[in-house]
Chain A
Amino acid sequence: MLRTMTAGTLSARPGLRERLIVALIASAALLLLGLAGCTRNPAPILGMSADAVPGRIEVELKARAPLPGRVIDAEEQEDDLYGDAFSSEYSAEIEVEPGTEAQVLAELRQRPDVIWAEPVVRYQSLWVPDDPDFSKQWHLKAAGAERAWDATRGEGVTVAVIDTGIYPVDDLDEARIVKGWNFVANNDDARDDHAHGTHVAGTIAQSTGNGKGVAGMAPEAHLMPIKVLSASGSGNSHDIAEGIRWAVDHGARVLNLSLGGGGRSLAMQSAVAYARRRGAVVVCAAGNGGARGVSYPAAYPGALAVSAVGPKGKLAFYSSFGPEVAIAAPGGDKSLGEESGVLQQTLAEGSTTEAGYRWFQGTSMATPHVAGAAALVMSLGVSSPAAVEELLESTASTPPESSRERYGAGLLDAAAAVRKATLWWGLWRLAFAAFGAWVALRHARSTGQLLPSEKPGLSFWTGLAAGAGALAILAPLGAERISMLSFLALPPAAWPQRFLTPVAGYIGWSALVPFALALVARIAARPLRNAFGALVAGLAFGWAGTLLHAAIWRTVALPWMPALLMPVWLLASAMFVWVAGRGLLAREPLR
């Protein structure tokens, strides 16, 4: 009865149905966005759940004191320089009899000297690679790679490794190593003769899921070897500057510079600025001085300076720091043991031909974690270097101590960055698209151009969702598992730039495609009674939502387009596309 009445009301008041749909889409999107804004608030304290590791509890005490069970890992704070009220003097992981965890937890939480206690919880991503030594790569998990891989693995992005070269070891897919250049010998043989560059390349894109060795941050990204450092691991500013320019001119979108020095070179500074202007993200190591003072090129404007942390998330003893540090990432801390380094395949010690898996530490090792995360984000259609940096920094997790100079924005969390670029940005696009459609439908009715009986149907809403790239919302649930469908994690406006060339970006990030489709659709009378017309109208509003989002969030960079003009271009395009969609909401095509 209620259904009949509702259906009757909806058919009697044709504007009501689309208003309801728009309201539902926009409300759901805004509700979820509201929740997203709350993600920095403390989540409920972990309790015993199915994800808890049996018999394992983590606890922080005000001072060292006896604990129940067996202490399997403990750390005593050396100092409390920053007066952090939440920081402790002693933290430990204990092993208790499985089944007694809840009771032990309750007892610990009652103790006045216990700051907090919680079960150790297992975080499981949808895709766990079968590389046998992946479990030893604590650093990839700490950087959030595992959960990011469910949405993207860095396809279509080239990362230049400006270093000692890359040796084609067997755990690197040769097909993904693109042509590079050797600026030391001035030829095209950019093979590594030191081991440093190959290790760095492995962190970025080691073959992953191949049942061999270890994994990398962005395993589907391409690697470009740019050899600017000799077999001794040193080089000059001229070669490095040339290498930066060459890499950008040959299609690299992310530059990894795990190198540095104390001298300020204008040639190198100019090359970094050039790379930024050409839409590349320049990720650099902060340096290994173990003191205040970031080395160059990390200290240049336009470079993303990376400091290094160990397995506990604390700044590594060797890492330089300073106001230029943008973000911190795992670089290893072998003072805690050999396996607290970063594990990748590279040249075996003392060899220039044999491969081996080696634990390295240094800010050079932290840098490729960030470069890999940048590749993951760029593969989702974020082409503006500033937007990539903002995305990585805004989603960085809270470091164990409060120090902007040591950790920049915080600890790299690639999964959070990918989630923001897919789920949350997808919801914003959808909300903008639904609002634009609602305004257009309302206007068309008020002017009498749309008959009360002409209602937007499934085709219209499908087009709108497609135009807004709404499927990106589902990407973190595992779009990558269906490789043929991974492009659905991107809005269609991003497809030409992502799958063709940067210049092709003008096709997507403009009114061109929806406007052309609208012209075709207008040939048909009464577009909303025509599935194709309705689809195109919806697509136009979805596309307009995408363009508006890109203008506000400044996610897009196009060749030759000044950064300041970009939002104006996108806003104007959004307006044109909206007009094209609105034009299809007429009873008869305009003549």
Chain B
Amino acid sequence: MKVSGTVEFVDLEGGLYRLSGEDGKRYTLIGAKGELKAAKGARVEVEGTLDEGFGVGMAGPQLRVARIRRI
């Protein structure tokens, strides 16, 4: 799936990256930590898979990042 939105750093559980999606949802982003750090605060398009699994975030659906592109 592809979602556009803004990358936010959330100071929870030691630090998480979240995508405030333009579809009105918030996704906890998994993987690509280096790219996410660089994209903090930027508007991006994230391509990845929705992960129905479990994690430390516990704050909404998890999006496993395959590709990230600034828009």
Interface residues of A (CB under 8 A from B): 163-164, 194-196, 199, 229, 232-237, 240, 258-263, 285, 287-290, 295-296, 318, 320, 334, 346, 349, 358, 360-365
Contacts and interface: CB of A to CB of B under 8 A. Distances in A.
Residue of B12, B54, B57 with highest tally of chain A CB at under 10 A: B54
Contacts of A289: 58-60
A259 B12 CA distance: 12
5 contacts: A234-B54, A234-B56, A235-B55, A260-B54, A261-B54
Given A194-B56, A259-B58, 14 more contacts: A163-B56, A199-B14, A229-B56, A234-B53, A234-B56, A235-B53, A236-B54, A259-B54, A259-B55, A261-B52, A262-B60, A361-B12, A361-B13, A363-B58
Nearest to A259: B54
Contacts of A290: 59
Contacts of B33: 232
Interface in B16-66: 16, 30-31, 33, 51-62, 64
A262 B61 contact: yes
Chain B interface: which size bin? 20 to 34
A295 B58 contact: yes
A237 B31 CA distance: 19
Contacts of B16: 233
Nearest to A287: B58
A260 B58 contact: yes
Interface of B: 11-16, 30-31, 33, 51-62, 64
Contacts of B55: 229, 232-235, 259-261
A318 B54 contact: no
Contacts of A240: 54
A233 B16 CA distance: 9
Nearest to B60: A289
B59 to A, nearest CB: 4
Nearest to A318: B12
Nearest to A338: B11
A320 B59 CA distance: 9
A88 to B, nearest CB: 29
B21 to A, nearest CB: 16
A296 B53 CA distance: 10
Contact of B54 (A196, A235, A360, A365): A235
Contacts of A229: 54-56
Nearest to B55: A234
Q: Which of B56, B57, B59, B64 has the most CB of A within 10 A?
A: B56
A288 B11 contact: no
A358 B12 CA distance: 12
A202 to B, nearest CB: 12
Given A234-B51, A234-B53, A236-B53, A358 B58 contact: no
B40 to A, nearest CB: 14
A196 B59 contact: no
A287 B59 contact: yes
Nearest to B31: A232
A328 to B, nearest CB: 16
Contacts of A259: 54-56, 58
Contacts of A334: 11
A196 B13 CA distance: 7
Contacts of B31: 232
Given A234-B30, A261-B58, A360 B53 contact: no
B58 A233 contact: no
B11 A237 contact: no
A290 B58 CA distance: 10
B8 to A, nearest CB: 13
User: Which of A261, A290, A296, A365 has the largest count of B CB atoms less than 10 A from its CB?
Assistant: A261
A365 B13 CA distance: 8
A263 B15 CA distance: 23
A287 B28 CA distance: 13
Given A262-B60, A318-B59, A237 B54 contact: yes
A229 B53 CA distance: 10
B68 to A, nearest CB: 14
A258 B14 contact: no
B52 A196 contact: no
A289 B57 CA distance: 9
A361 B59 CA distance: 13
B53 A288 contact: no
A233 B56 contact: yes
A364 B56 contact: yes
B35 to A, nearest CB: 13
B24 to A, nearest CB: 15
B62 A288 contact: no
A208 to B, nearest CB: 22
